[in-house]
């Protein structure tokens, strides 16, 4: 197993055929917040702008998967600009569903003020989200960042947040207000509860920021970025939702080329997953981060094992069905391409040059096998070819789709080609070819037929 070292990755991303981390390669992503809803795992992330030299973040991003390896890009469900009271800094947030609505808790800088936590609401997990209040939900003036939200078995919801302090409120059932009789509560940061820090007279405990709060088998977990800069990930547990907390140790040591980290935990299809970020993409670092995932098993007593960052990532928990419409922006690994809003709705793949590719994993063609391949494509210039390869870009070619010039970048046409040899389960590579310089064509969606 290849393990990330403390320096950023320098291997040519084009040849990383067996890697699944980072899970998104088209943009820099950070601060992962997974949410399981209706048998789908949604992944909300921050978005580090290209070439950032600070935490330059203007919107949040959303991706989804049903197999943990192929991720569909849903674009940005929310921007700080949705909040009239905000002047910027779309930092770490978390989304949760209640009564058919989705509530996204996000921190931003106020116009003329400090950070505060707002809440946006949508009737869809992929947005768009709208500011639910027209003002912040909570603010203390003391590091109001990194909200984490959880609804307990009795229906009581809690919102924790903060750096350098840890705060919480008891949310009301509407999820956009809190119990003012209890108010904003500051959690006592004691060494017994959050570990002992040395060498920093201003912070006696390991708690730094990025809390992630949840419950499992009657035990409450508070996972958090710890130990100062560079950060590791540590955790505490409690038998109650508001403490007292007991420090349990470090989960993930400092690794990965980013001086920050941020945890997210989810159980999905019988497995437990640990989400985090590092600086693994080309030109990545502390301000250009990338979300990764590791599968793990709790110890029998509910404690965590030590987890290291890997490039292998997780194994699939399902198969991709090639005989239905599949969005081109559903990707396990890619080289060279980008995604953008599509004139037909959703998103499409763009910025395609000769030699770029997309990989999708665990495609089940069945015993009979596919006979034809279709793709919705557009090209204002010369078009090109989509070669279909099994298991690597140089693997067996089962077909080649000629992409015509459709006359305009937003003029879509369904192109078709015959395929042979597409049986069984394989990783499928779309290898893009063309003689033109620059963008060759765009792809919206694809499917095979028997």
Which tokens is 130 given? 């709208």
The answer on 345 and 277 residing in a single domain is no
| Domain contains 311 | no
Give the model confidence (pLDDT) of 3-58 as tens digits: 333 333 333 445 666 789 999 999 999 999 999 999 999 999 999 999 999 999 99
Distance (Å, whole) CA 117 – CA 105? 7
**Mean of per-residue pLDDT scores for the chain:** 95
Strand locations in 228-356 (E): 232-238, 246-252, 264-268, 271-278, 290-296, 326-327, 330-331, 333-335, 338-341, 347-350
The answer on 405 and 258 residing in a single domain is: no
Same domain assignment for residues 364 and 227: no
Pairing of strands 397-403, 264-268: unpaired
From the CA atom positions of the chain, what is the Rg in Å? 23
318 occurs within a structural domain = no
| Same domain for 263 and 143 | yes
pLDDT score recorded for residue 1: 39
163 and 274 housed in the same domain: yes
Q: What is the CATH number of the domain that holds 69?
A: 2.115.10.20
Residues 288 and 330 in one domain: no
Question: CA-CA distance, 275 to 261, in Å (whole number)?
Answer: 10
Which segment of 70-79, 94-103, 199-208, 292-301 scores lowest on mean pLDDT?
199-208
Please tell me the predicted confidence (pLDDT) of residue 2: 39
**What does the pLDDT look like over 159-208, one tens digit per residue?**
999 999 999 999 999 999 999 999 999 999 999 999 999 988 889 999 99
Judgement on whether residues 292 and 179 belong to the same structural domain of the protein: yes
Range of the domain at 265: 13-296
Q: Are residues 280 and 356 in the same domain?
A: no
Average pLDDT over residues 238-266: 97
pLDDT, mean of residues 264-279: 98
Is the residue at 320 inside a domain?
Answer: no
Establish if 436 belongs to a structural domain.
yes
In a domain, 253, yes or no: yes
Judge if 275 and 339 occupy the same domain. no
Q: Are residues 366 and 227 in the same domain?
A: no
Q: Are residues 291 and 334 in the same domain?
A: no
Following DSSP, what letter does each residue of 214-263 receive, concatenated? EEETTEEEEEEEESSSSPEEEEEEESSTT---EEEEEEE-S-SS-S----
Domain shared by 334 and 234, yes or no:
no
Q: What's the CATH code of the domain at 397?
A: 2.60.120.260
Q: What is the pLDDT of residues 48-77, one digit of tens each?
A: 999 999 999 999 999 999 999 999 999 999
Q: Given the DSSP bridges, would you call strands 347-350 and 28-37 parallel, antiparallel or unpaired?
A: unpaired
7 belongs to a structural domain: no
Give the total number of structural domains in the chain: 2
CA distances from 83 to 47, 227, 255 (A): 17, 33, 35
In this structure, are residues 153 and 159 in contact, taking their beta carbons and an 8 Å threshold? no
Both tokens assigned to 10: 């320098």
Specify if 389 maps to a domain.
yes
Which of 296, 318, 352 lies at the terminal end of a domain, its last residue?
296
pLDDT score at 8:
32
pLDDT for the residue 448: 98
Reported as a single tens digit per residue, the pLDDT across 115-172 is 999 999 999 999 999 999 999 999 999 999 999 999 999 999 999 999 999 999 999 9
User: Could you give the angle at the alpha carbon of 425 between the alpha carbons of 420 and 428, nearest 5°?
Assistant: 65
Closest by alpha carbon to 65, among 53, 76, 74?
Answer: 74
* Mean pLDDT of the 423-429 span: 97
Cα distance between residue 164 and residue 157, in whole Å = 23
Strands, sheet with 246-252, edge to edge from the N-terminal-most edge strand: 207-216, 219-226, 232-238, 246-252
Measured CA to CA, the distance from residue 185 to residue 25 in angstroms comes to: 39
Alpha-carbon gap, residue 364 to 423, rounded angstroms:
8
Distance CA 391, CA 361 (A): 9
Question: Is 260 domain-assigned?
Answer: yes
Model pLDDT, residue 19: 87
């Amino acid at each position: 197993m290849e393990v990330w070292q403390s320096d950023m990755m320098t291997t040519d991303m084009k040849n990383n055929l067996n890697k699944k981390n980072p899970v998104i390669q088209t943009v820099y992503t950070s601060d992962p917040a997974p949410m399981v809803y209706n048998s789908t795992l949604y992944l909300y992330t921050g978005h580090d702008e290209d070439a950032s030299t600070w935490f330059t973040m203007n919107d949040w991003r959303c991706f989804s998967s049903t197999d943990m390896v192929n991720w569909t890009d849903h674009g940005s469900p929310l921007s700080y600009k949705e909040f009239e009271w905000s002047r910027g800094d779309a930092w770490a947030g978390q989304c949760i569903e209640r009564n058919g609505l989705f509530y996204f808790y996000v921190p931003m800088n106020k116009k003329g003020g400090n950070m505060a936590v707002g809440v946006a609401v949508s009737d869809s997990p992929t947005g768009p989200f709208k500011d639910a209040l027209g003002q912040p939900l909570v603010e203390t003036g003391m590091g109001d960042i990194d909200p984490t939200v959880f609804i307990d078995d009795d229906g009581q919801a809690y919102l924790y947040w903060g750096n350098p302090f840890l705060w919480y409120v008891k949310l009301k059932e509407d999820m956009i207000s809190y119990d003012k009789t209890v108010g904003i509560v500051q959690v006592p940061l004691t060494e017994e509860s959050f570990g002992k820090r040395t060498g920093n007279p201003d912070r006696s405990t390991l708690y730094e920021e990025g809390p992630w709060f949840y419950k499992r088998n009657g035990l409450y977990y508070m996972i958090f970025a710890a130990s100062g800069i560079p950060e590791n990930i540590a955790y505490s547990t409690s038998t109650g939702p508001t403490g007292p907390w007991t420090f349990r140790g470090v989960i993930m040591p400092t690794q990965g080329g980013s001086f920050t980290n941020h945890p997210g935990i989810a159980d999905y299809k019988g497995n437990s997953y640990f989400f985090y970020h590092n600086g693994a993409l080309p030109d990545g670092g502390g301000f250009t981060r990338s979300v990764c995932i590791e599968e793990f098993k709790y110890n029998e007593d509910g404690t965590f094992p030590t987890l290291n960052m890997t490039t292998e990532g997780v194994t699939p928990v399902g198969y991709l069905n090639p005989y239905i419409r599949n969005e081109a922006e559903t990707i396990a690994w890619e080289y060279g391409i980008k995604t953008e809003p599509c004139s037909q709705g959703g998103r499409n793949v763009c910025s395609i040059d000769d030699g770029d590719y997309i990989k999708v994993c665990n495609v089940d063609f069945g015993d009979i096998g596919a006979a034809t391949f279709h793709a919705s494509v557009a090209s204002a210039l010369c078009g090109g070819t989509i070669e279909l390869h099994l298991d690597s870009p140089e693997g067996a070619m089962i077909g080649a789709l000629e992409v015509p010039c459709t006359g305009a970048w937003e003029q879509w046409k369904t192109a078709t080609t015959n395929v042979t040899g597409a049986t069984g389960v394989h990783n499928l590579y779309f290898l893009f070819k063309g003689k033109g310089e620059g963008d060759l064509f765009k792809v919206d969606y694809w499917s095979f037929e028997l």
